[in-house]
């Protein structure tokens, strides 16, 4: 599968204008997704239960995080983890991520809630590998 092919678990999500709507995306009053907003309770559920922020399904041992250079350096990420194939698809197709390149794909095996900042920030374990995406 290449990065532009939609992973099956994302193809199973509701679609809006050909784009899968992430699990944590807020749905507006008109029944349309608000891509710029995350549902806080769903984010919390992802962090607590190790669910993928994009497809909402259970994560495996390896967990992917997407962030910029400073997030990579501090290992603090404001969004919950993802499946690697979900993250790769997002890195190739999400307008926000493409606008903010370079972004980094970071694969790790564990994370904790950040003890000082908001509980919705996670601190990830030492990455197993990282990859740079220039959009």
Main-chain dihedrals φ then ψ at residue 59, nearest 5 degrees: -85, 155
Least Å from the CB of residue 44 to Zn ion: 17
Q: Tell me whether residue 51 or residue 103 sits nearer to Zn ion (CB atom).
A: 51
Comparing CB distances to Zn ion, the nearer of 66 and 86 is: 86
Q: Whole-angstrom Cα distance, residue 39 to residue 34?
A: 10
Find out whether 106 and 67 touch, Cβ atoms under 8 Å.
yes
Taking the CB of residue 42, how many other CB atoms lie within 10 A of it? 18
Kindly list the residues in this chain that would bind Zn ion in the complex (CB under 5 A).
52, 54-55, 83, 86
Closest approach of Cβ 82 to Zn ion, in Å? 5
Q: Which is nearer to Zn ion, 24 or 72 (CB)?
A: 24
Q: How far is the CB of 86 from Zn ion (least distance, A)?
A: 3
93-117: string of b/e by CB count within 10 Å (b at 16+)?
A: bbeebeeeeebbbbbbeebeebeee
Nearer to Zn ion, 30 or 61 (CB): 61
The least CB distance from residue 74 to Zn ion, in Å, is 24
């Amino acid at each position: 599968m290449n990065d532009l092919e939609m992973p099956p678990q994302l193809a199973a999500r509701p679609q809006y204008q050909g784009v899968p709507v992430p699990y944590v995306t807020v749905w507006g009053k008109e029944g349309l997704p608000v891509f710029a907003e995350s549902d806080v309770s769903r984010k919390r559920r992802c962090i607590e239960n190790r669910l993928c922020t994009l497809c909402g399904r259970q994560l495996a041992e390896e967990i992917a995080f997407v962030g910029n250079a400073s997030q990579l350096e501090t290992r603090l990420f404001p969004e919950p983890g993802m499946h690697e194939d979900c993250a790769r698809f997002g890195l190739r197709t999400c307008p926000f991520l493409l606008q903010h390149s370079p972004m980094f794909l970071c694969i790790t095996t564990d994370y904790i809630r950040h003890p000082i900042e908001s509980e919705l920030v996670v601190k990830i374990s030492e990455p197993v590998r990282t990859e740079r995406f220039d959009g």
